[in-house]
Chain A
Amino acid sequence: MAYELFSPWPMVSKAGDLAAGSILPIHPTCRTCDHKKCRAFHGNASTNLNVLKCPKGLNCFAHKDDKETVVFIGLGDPSRVDLPRSFSRHREYVVAPDIVRQWILRTTHAIDHAHLVMTEDTERAIQGLHNIQPAVNMVLRAAERPINMHAGSTFEQRLDASTQAERDLYYAANLLTWMIDIQHDLVRPETILHGERSSTPIYEMVDRFVRSFRLLAGPHKRIRLEGQSYRRPRCFDSVATLLFIILHNAIKYSIENQEIVIRVNDPGNYVEVSIESYGPAIRKEELDLVFTAGARGRHAREFTTEGSGRGLYVAHMIAQKHGTYIECTPPHHTVDYDGIPCGTNTFAVRLY
């Protein structure tokens, strides 16, 4: 299971076997490939990041900790030569953008699924998060490069000028970054105490989350963003974790073909972000319980086995640190879906 955390594509164990995860299948390229070079590749002993180009055009590189070697397949060359050139020419991609995007989404998904593993062995989880960082940095930079090729005086203008595929790739890479952030906060919640308050463009942040989450949610869960705010309340960095967790929960605990509505209201002296999703109903007697560590709503447990009950607990801690609270409103009426009462749950937070 620890492998699955960082190996959305097949990885190579010490025995040299391709290991397909229970959640994530083998890379389609590797499924038909009989080349064993990558499987035996453990990298150079003097460094923990090594690169090998596979005959099918995928790159692999190895990460080692004191216990295992994990080999990633399906990533570009971190030497900064291979990827930018291929991206800039837009001719032959060493790694096609859709594969990279898939890699990112799968990694994100895998990281999300690994809460329990990580909380069991915190030190190793932290080391694991640290080990994957060079790969994530590389993915981020690779996703930014094609955008920088476009005309525009600022990065935002170039982002607007880029193609849909490039934007998707960029937002997917952003999602991966945030997912790593969240894991740090979930594994060791005291990290949310770091830093000072700074002016934070809440609407801009929510907008970026929404764009990224649309990729994760897929075509059957529509996310709508309403309202506008130019206010920049003075918040800690961890406010991103708070909003991310509530939004992520809305996607995780919502049924398909129902809309998730995010509203950003600015009545004058604060910014309010509220998230409405249709899913397993939170019962009135559970309103406080869902914010305690390790607790999950009864219907949420029936809906999915995923989740460790730490997300809302950490979000609640962050809200308290900001001198505010998360307001949870249960549905007024429910309808049974597969025997689970579902309705519109609303989470709202005000930032001053």
Chain B
Amino acid sequence: MWPFKKRTIASLPHKRLDMAKLKQTTSIVVIDDDPNAFPEVSTFRAEGYNITEWRKVESLSQLESAAFDIIVLDVTGVAGKWGPKDGLEILRLLKDANPRQYIIAFSGQRSVHQLEEFWKLADAQMKKPVTVSDCKRKLDDAIEELANIEHYWVKIRERLQSCGVSEKKLAQVEDQIVRQVELGDTSPGKIRTLIASCVENEKVQNLAVNLAVKLITAGAAAL
């Protein structure tokens, strides 16, 4: 019998979520052209949220590489191209590049038939106009959902599997992640090398490494 027990993400000990810490570690970007649509971000920053506000998409590559954990996305006037419903185009693009990217659809046009896809594609919905309390509740729900480390592993696994990575390699990646979580080693060096040996696509590599580092950070914090 094999003397070593297989180490998996699911076998990592779970600890009660520390919301204050999670708020700091979860990066949020709000993309809306109307300065009054979202409550003042300073209100959220004062409460420990790691939140950024963009009037329009400033860097698509940042969004595609999962630089933000949560994207709050308006449907109109956020990209300056792709027509009036550019938010929907961006949502499609991001979901295509990274299906597990957490996106909150943020619009007041919820009864417009043409926008049903926008509401359905997103992970959560936030209706305009929105009060501070409702906004906080939505963000807290999203943060709690994302803090579940298995959620990250599902994302990484999906992306690597879509690039044809074998189960054996996946198990190696999982083992390396668990090892780093246990050691509290959040450096991307080893995991990057391992992932680079599995997939050639640089975009997928960056995405998987970003997610793995997030998982290790969250996992180590929970230990």
Contact = CB atoms under 8 A, between A and B. Distances in A.
Given A80-B36, A153-B47, A237-B127, A126 B132 contact: no
B131 A194 contact: no
A181 B40 CA distance: 21
Interface of A: 78, 80, 126, 129-130, 133-134, 136-138, 140-141, 144-145, 148, 153-156, 173-174, 176-177, 180-181, 184, 187-188, 191, 194-196, 198-201, 204, 208, 237
B39 A141 contact: yes
Nearest to B36: A137
B108 A198 contact: no
Interface string B91-109: 0000000000000000011
Nearest to A201: B137
Contacts of A191: 110-111
B136 interface: yes
A134 B34 contact: yes
B124 A138 contact: no
B58 interface: no
B222 interface: no
B110 A184 contact: yes
Contacts of A201: 137
Contacts, number: 84
Interface string B36-56: 110110110011000000000
Of B35, B37, B111, the most chain A CB neighbours within 10 A belong to: B111
Contacts of B83: none
A225 B146 CA distance: 35
Nearest to B46: A153
A191 B137 CA distance: 20
Interface size on B, as a range, is: 20 to 34
Nearest to A174: B131
Contacts of A153: 46-47
5 contacts: A134-B36, A180-B129, A187-B111, A195-B125, A201-B137
Interface of B: 34-37, 39-40, 42-43, 46-47, 108-112, 119-120, 123-125, 127-133, 136-138, 141
A199 B141 CA distance: 8
A138 to B, nearest CB: 5
Given A130-B109, A137-B37, A144-B40, A194 B47 contact: no
Contacts of B123: 196
Contact of A198 (B43, B109, B124): B124
A144 B37 CA distance: 13
Contacts of B111: 126, 129, 184, 187-188, 191
Contacts of A181: 127
B35 A155 contact: no
B136 A155 contact: yes
Contact of A155 (B120, B125, B127, B133): B133
A240 B120 CA distance: 20
Nearest to A137: B36
A194 B130 contact: no
